[in-house]
Every structure is written in C-alpha cells, then in structure tokens.
Amino acid sequence: MPRYVRFTLFGKPSYGLAQDEGVRPLAGDPFDGGRDEPQGEVLPWDVITLRPPTSPTKIVAVGRNYVDHAKELGNDVPKEPLLFLKPPSCLVAHGDDVVYPEGESELVHHEGELALVIGRRARHVSEADAAAHILGYTIMNDVTARDLQRRDVQFTRAKSFDTFGPLGPWLDTDFVPAAQRLTVHVNGELRQDGRVDQMVFQPAMLVAYVSRIMTLEPGDVITTGTPAGVGPLVPGDRVVVAIEGLGELENGVVGG
Ligand code: ZN
C-alpha cells in the first residue's frame, strides 16, 4: 500500500514512501510520474521532519456533510454541498502543534475529517470520471474557532488561523472510502465517532461539483466534513484523528 509522505531533511523538501523503518525518498513527487522511482536508502523517522503530505493551491472544505453533525449545531443538511475555503497557510504536519489564538477566540473546536488529494487537474469532470482525478486520501483536523464562526457570516476568520489545518500523516493511494470508522480522541477520551459512508455528499460527487466552480490542481485538497461530537480544544490537549485503514493524525495544542 503506497503511502506518500512529504518531509524535509537539512531544510530540503522531498517526497518519499513511508515504510516501517522510515522513509524511502522519491526522485520526483507522486503527481508527476515519480511515484514508483524510489532512490537511495531508507531515512529513519527520527532524522526527517514530516511535512503535510501535499502542498495545495487551495483547500476546499465541506460544511454539514454528516447529518448528525449538522443537527448537533442546530443546522439542516444542505441540499447541495456547502463549501468554504481554508488557506494553505493554515497547514501543519502530523506531530506539529495547533496554536490557540488567544485574545481572538474563546472556543476552538476539533473537526476530524477524511480529506482527498487531487492527482490530475480537474475542470468540469463528471461524477463518473471524478475517481480518476483523486490520487488518494489523508486525514484533516479542520480546527475551527466556533465563537467566531457563529459571529461572522463568512467562515473565513474562524477556519483560517495559522496551524488550524493539521493534515497527514501521509497520502494513501490505495485507501477506498467505504464504511471505515472515523474517531477523534482528546487526551484519550473519545469525542467523535462516525463512519465515512455517513457522508451526505460522497468524494466523487464533491470533486465533480467543485470542478464546475474552480479548476482543481494536482495536490489540491477537498476535506469532506466531520461527524458528530465536535468539541473544545484547550492548550495542553493532545488530539488524535483516526480513520480505520488510513492512519492517525496526532497534534498537540499550545497557547499562543
Ligand atoms: Zn469541517
């Protein structure tokens, strides 16, 4: 099962294949045909710095895409996907800290989500063709300042603080969404528990829908919404988003 990671070694960014002992560097990246050309020796995990597994031009997020989550915040399920954007500047890697925006927000929430990564440019693609444009899947924590989201009409401020986009740990090109369990634990306590087939709008539909609005470039991310159980994060917390068969994304929260 190919799992691609992005990492830096001596400051130089590269892609590699995740293996038990470490990372096997790639000549290119998973987007340009370099997928199957590992080179050099396996680099042990402790010598590299993990980065988010893609460097997107945009992160398209889908709101209220699980019935139970829409209900818990007092919202109806939208008749068509509710889209918003997160800036690429919010991304951090597995293991990095989420910095609590003290002085700006008093209620920061976790939202564990399945995220898809585009492999081939997509513009006006049909739902039937959409799968060919998805390279693989990863995990996102769509960290949200819930108080600011409620105060503002637009979601931009609430969703966009630096570090509000943990993404990773890898990009898995074999993962096929079905009924896998998605959980979020905070300090070991189960907060969110859903299955990815509970999504209202499924990945292929979302790619087709978004591609009618904006061109999706290789590396772009669509994060597909969160199940019920969103709740607060505070400095000192450790939050783990896990998707069965895909992996675990773990981050700490620090004051800032
Ligand atoms: Zn979300």
Give me the residue spans of the domains in the chain. 3-50, 59-255
Average pLDDT of the segment spanning 186-215: 97
| Of 18, 23, 11, 15, residue with least CA distance to 55 | 15
Residue 161: is it exposed, middle or buried by C-beta count within 10 angstroms (0-12/13-18/19+)?
buried
| Of 65, 100, 63, residue with least CA distance to 85 | 63
CA 174 – ligand 1 centroid, Å: 24
CA 63 – ligand 1 centroid, Å: 6
Return the pLDDT at 69.
86
Which residues make up the environment of ion ligand 1, defined by Cβ < 5 Å? 111, 142, 226
CA 201 – ligand 1 centroid, Å: 14
Return the pLDDT at 32.
67
Residue 38 banded pLDDT, cuts 50, 70, 90: confident
Question: Tell me: the pLDDT tens digits for 129-181?
Answer: 999 999 999 999 999 999 999 999 999 999 999 999 999 999 999 999 999 99
Length of the chain in terms of residues written:
256
- The one-letter amino acid at 214: M
Element (H, E) at 137: strand 134-141
CA 86 – ligand 1 centroid, Å: 10
pTM value is 0.96
CA 16 – ligand 1 centroid, Å: 28
CA 61 – ligand 1 centroid, Å: 6
Query: Lowest-confidence range among 39-48, 86-95, 144-153?
Result: 39-48
The CATH H-level (homologous superfamily) assignment of domain 59-255 is Fumarylacetoacetase-like, C-terminal domain (3.90.850.10)
Residues ≥6 apart with Cβ < 8 Å to 207: 116, 118, 122, 125, 127, 130, 133, 134, 216, 222
